[in-house]
Structure 1
Amino acid sequence: MDLELRHLKTIRAIADAGSLTKAATALGLAQPALSAQLKRIERTLGGELFERGRFGVRATALGEFVLARARIVLPAVSGLQEEAERFSRVWQDRRGFRLGGTHGPLLGGLVDRLAAAYPDHPVSTYTSWSERDIAAQVADVRLDFALIGTCGASTPPESERLVWREVARDPVFVMLATRHPQAGASEVELGELAGEAWTDVPGDGCFGDCFTAACARAGFTPSSVYETDTASCVHLVQVGRAVGLCRATFPPTEGIVTLPLAGAPLYWRHLLGWHPETYAHDTAAGVLGHARAAHAAAAARSESYSAWLASPGADVG
């Protein structure tokens, strides 16, 4: 027989009552049944816990040892149960949305739509360049949803613990200064930019390797790639220091045009992920719908992307 919490409660009840008869009454048991249970507990623990006498029972040295531990373990377990129940009530009552996302317009669009659709439910955000960091926080239930991207058909992080659904699939565009020689084109061949420096936001996926491979297929190796924040990428493009890689939904920006690469050699999948064993699973369909609507709105705001989508044979992946 394995020792259980109920056995420790029985031992404590006997010690508090001072007799098996009184303890049996307090526990709602018949005295013979309690005596038989105590014997089984004593066999499990390797010796007698109480000395029986005319006036009741008294703990043995082993009994005192076990009681000392029981008086620590039982309140700790009771406190754990109370805290867990309190946490569960708060969690269920909160019913908000804790979103984690990489930097980009899609996260802002989703926040706006959720706040409008659920005005009584708080929406909070966490942003990181690391898709793995965001996914790990959702897997550990510190966030409810992950809104991230993956390059091509690569597997998203934490795929064994999270449910992932595709929000949208976009070609990767280039950002050029409005005075760039290619700025007026409808699309740009990657090889035509062989002599340029490049800029892009950082990440921990395979996008950098995929870009290098696409350049190799186009017959060149990038001279330099500046990985930095979005504002710095925009500045480097505006002043003509580099051309940028961006999502097709990149919003209109002064001094910059965004254009598709011919043949869509690179593409990006927007993904929504959640833990299947939390309440987020019950709201995931609605959140996914709002994420797709936010993406559609972002795509509609980009003239170059709208034109690409309307072009014959527009497809990625």
Structure 2
Amino acid sequence: MELELRHLRLIVTVAEQGSVTRAASALGLSQPALTAQLNRIDKTFGAAVFTRDQRGARPTALGEFVLGRAKVLLPAMAALVEDAHRIVAGTQVRTRSVRVGTASTALGGLFVNRLISELDVEVTSVTLPDVDGVSDQLASGSLDVGLVGLCGTAEPPVVDGVRWSRVSTDPVFVLVPDDHPLAARPMVTLGDLADAEWFGVTGAGCFQRCFVTACARAGFTPGKVSEADRAACVDLVRAGHGVALVQPTFPDTPGVSVVPLAGAPLVWAHHVGWRDESAALPVAGVVDAAAGAHAEAVSRSSPRFVDWLTPRA
């Protein structure tokens, strides 16, 4: 027997239902007919895809492997058929493929979503460790578009053939545990946190230098300063090990509170970039998608950021 897509659909259904009886009902087959199909599939692979007993049907190691591939192949085939129907019907099919790189930004997912939905393109995305990497790959043609975050006083690297547009400039807020004495305040100063251990202070660009300078202006030298990614910051702050500097679009998260810093002593900016010779996307559409991603992030952010923005609107 040659394996067909219908066999993969059958395997997925059995795994989802957890039993041959329920899967047969969902597929509109008799249980003996489904069992016979499964036996033929097992024979084709040379081993059992499911362990079947009175407790139901559970994927074997082979079954997990097959399920993983099936969950890729079935949607891909469905998309192929859908696009073919659209071609026959005379509607446009996405033919443009865009390579997007992001670094030091919380807007990457929202930006990619908007490129796909608003500009009707296929997107391949990659997260890079720093802004220089995004700029270099734009210049080399490995990327078509980039979205990066930088300390608000800095600008993206100047590279021939690459253009940048500033999307937004936001204040940097502080993340504290919910039970912190300052958590309920509408705003705090850096000086209020002079004795804190700090997380999330990236060493890329000038941000660390700007942070230390801001602390000096507030009358103190920060103690221990550690770099940490977003997930680590939340865990460390929630556990009471320190406070973290975060982008203001940070959403409400159980156990931690986002508090504005008085006077906005630190700022973070987002920039969108593209290659001059890239014809993959209209520049205006790229810039609009980046601005829309920021606006969407603001709408989902902590209410304290919305409150902070209101008098400045």
Query: Fold-level match, TM-score > 0.5?
Result: yes
Unaligned runs of 5+ in 1: 1-92
Bigger Rg over Cα = 1
Counterpart in 2 of 1:219?
219
The 5-angstrom pairing of residues 72-83 of structure 1 reads: none
Matched, 1:113 2:114: yes
CA distance in 2, matches of 1:271, 1:95: 23
Amino acid paired to 1:292: A
SS at structure 2 position matched to 1:265: coil
1:267-301 C-alpha deviation (Å, 9 max, x unpaired): 11100011112214x51210110111111111122
1:102-122 C-alpha deviation (Å, 9 max, x unpaired): 254311101112222244x21
1:139-168 C-alpha deviation (Å, 9 max, x unpaired): 111001110022123221134442110111
SS at structure 1 position matched to 2:107: helix
Counterpart in 2 of 1:284?
283
Unaligned runs of 5+ in 2: 1-93
| Identity of matched residues, % | 42
Equivalent pair of 2:161/2:277 in contact (CA under 8 Å): no
Q: How many residues align?
A: 219
Amino acid paired to 2:286: V
1:165-202 C-alpha deviation (Å, 9 max, x unpaired): 01111001111111111000111111110000000163
CA distance in 2, matches of 1:213, 1:112: 37
Superposed structure 1 runs of 4+ greater than 3 Å apart: 158-161
The 5-angstrom pairing of residues 119-138 of structure 1 reads: 119=120, 121-138=121-138
Amino acid paired to 2:111: L
Counterpart in 1 of 2:261?
261
Counterpart in 2 of 1:35?
none
Matched, 1:172 2:172: yes
Q: State the TM-score, normalizing by the size of structure 2.
A: 0.66
Distance verdict in 2 for CA 1:261–1:159, change over 3 Å: farther
Deviation at 1:138?
A: 0.7
Q: State the TM-score, normalizing by the size of structure 1.
A: 0.66
CA distance in 1, matches of 2:193, 2:290: 33
CA distance in 1, matches of 2:254, 2:112: 25
Amino acid paired to 1:109: L
Equivalent pair of 1:201/1:229 in contact (CA under 8 Å): no
CA distance in 2, matches of 1:137, 1:240: 39
CA distance in 2, matches of 1:231, 1:115: 26
Counterpart in 2 of 1:306?
306
SS at structure 2 position matched to 1:296: helix
Equivalent pair of 1:132/1:158 in contact (CA under 8 Å): no
Distance verdict in 2 for CA 1:159–1:247, change over 3 Å: farther
